[in-house]
Structure 1
């Protein structure tokens, strides 16, 4: 079975319903994973999504914050969710396709402004969340699985616009990069985006604070597509839909795509 998957931090699925519909119409991924939906599950605007053929959804939501959802044209059943670090946040949902592939959709905590857990509780929560992800995947030993989402870390030097300037900025600090690497190693996850695009600067997020984000291009690659080794060789055609960052009233993230021939 061949399918295309996309991941997108939408920054309110209700506020940006029109953008989701535009993506579904123009790009038509078989599976769309959304983060930061900021909506209870029952208020996610499914009517329009169903009209585009996305008749399956698994989701976790909460009012005004966080929230993850997987929309699918393909039959999908829920495969569980975890509350890592016991934050009580809707940050993970998993769905299983009929071919046995499990899709994990994550929204890792951003971590606040200061990369020091002694003065910034949110940074400590982020590190704890990643540690529990690591331990969970050590125990689960995932197979035939894909992990996507806003992981809120840009791990490589060419995943940020300026490596040296961002070493002390949350999302690119060495301690965060090391924690993410441990999660990746625990599941033997393959970074599909960088498997397909191994060289060069690559970003999926540009701050709202930049009045001309496109020209300044001070981006970071915070959004990821990983797969387990047993299916990683079936992946191809990775890309970032940068143009979506320039749509009307956009999210500050752009969708990231990958295709799989399984």
Structure 2
């Protein structure tokens, strides 16, 4: 067999900001080759070439030794986009169960924000002098309030409590819950559709009962958030684009 396809999990980021992605890897024999080589062909695929005489076991050992290198290559190939550019291309966010249109105007005096959630509209008015910084500060102010409300609603509906919310700029993680009950929520959550927002919050609230990701955890989570495992996969698929959005 000259070609075989396998997969490997690579960890993107470090510590609490890490997440795992699965990379498809094609293993190919190369005539006259004397060494193993690997290259990233796409953000989620790679090719590993090996000497014809080398075994698959040896190829897999080499692959496992390359996971850190693959992670660095993947992160390097991800196109970064500013929040301002993203909102100009896709001027919408989600607040509770509603899609909110976002309008950006330039303030001639000081930056301000008009949040009319009843009419599903958010106006952000940064100054021209500090356009991106003002825009990000206004956006984060709205996100802080919106996500706190989201957590409160889901807490009341599930009967699962938390102590407070903290809005974070994690580079590769949606949310976390501390042992003291603090929900650390990524501001990017408000860019996700309501069903994914609900899933993320209830996933963290479920950790009040189970601190791990055991079978019991997933059974419980499915009770308070049906189709949790499907939503988990869909959220992770969306992460590949959303986490490219960066603050200045």
Give the TM-score of the pair, scaled to structure 2: 0.27
Higher share in helix: 2
Higher relative contact order (CA 8 A, sep 6+): 1
